[in-house]
Chains A and B, each alone.
Chain A
């Protein structure tokens, strides 16, 4: 299942994990300790940042297709369940 990675690839992957963890913490702290109106600018910056990370990962051949598809399916299931969540107010 796991493709063999060189030491350099492993280092890049670990670095990407670290960057993504920091991004996650940063996003959470912004959510928790700021006036909560997330700006579009921040979202654009975030998506640009993720695109750069993806390109770096792609360039270093770190992306694993099977795991990508697996997590993508899980995410789609979560989003679908979330869209159809119960509303406390019914529109009659």
Chain B
């Protein structure tokens, strides 16, 4: 009981301190293009744009219609409007589109929390997007075009393999703490800590694998 009390108070104190610090201190915007949340945000936004560009339909919505349906879908959760909006953007399954949209919204909130994007100029954000998408100046594009396309595939694959190896190494490294938690005896707390540690390690490796795949896809573009 005493231990549970200590654990609870300790956890809340720790989380409280972290939250207070993080609200006062924002991260440097120049690191935005390296942020994993930013990378996934760009990737998700790209996937929506790709789907819309590949979609050809005779029933295009006008700007006013689109805005009205979008407002209805978001504010009133109108199922018909949700379907109209998602199908106008080329999504056969409306849940996929709205899940993507919610995911992007969450990521923007998270990035805003980390970087305070509202007080940053549009130029810096677009610069970060360009860096992430590897949009080079014109003279560099020309020199890059001279490179053989056949070389790009294996290079990207090599980067992807290295990235996954790093994820595996990090996962194995995390196991040290998990085993340490279990080695203190046959206790419920030990088992709980072991399970929490494993869950954390698996989640981190899942995110790591996804980031590797996203970077691979960006590398191929």
Interface residues of A (CB under 8 A from B): 1-3, 5, 13-14, 16-18, 20-29, 31, 33-38, 43, 46-47, 50, 53-54, 57, 62-64, 66-68, 70-72, 74-75, 78-79, 82-83, 87-89, 91
A89 contacts B168, CB within 8 Å? no
A18 CB contact (under 8 Å) in B7, B34, B161 = B7
On chain A, the residues within 8 Å of B178 by CB distance are 71, 75
**Number of B residues with CB within 8 Å of any CB on chain A:** 51
- In the complex, the 3 A-B pairs of residues with the closest C-beta atoms, listed nearest first: A71-B182, A68-B183, A64-B185
| Contacts A17-B193, A24-B177, A68-B182 given; does A82 touch B168 at CB 8 Å | yes
Within 8 A of A (CB), among B4-42: 6-7, 10-11, 14-15, 18, 22, 27, 31, 34-36
A21 contacts B11, CB within 8 Å? yes
On chain B, the residues within 8 Å of A89 by CB distance are 157, 160, 213, 216
| Contacts A25-B11, A35-B31, A38-B170 given; does A71 touch B177 at CB 8 Å | no
Q: Say whether chain A's binding surface is mostly helix, strand, loop, or mixed.
A: helix
B182 CB contact (under 8 Å) in A1, A23, A38, A67 = A67
A18 contacts B6, CB within 8 Å? yes
How near does chain B come to A3, taking the closest CB pair, in angstroms? 7
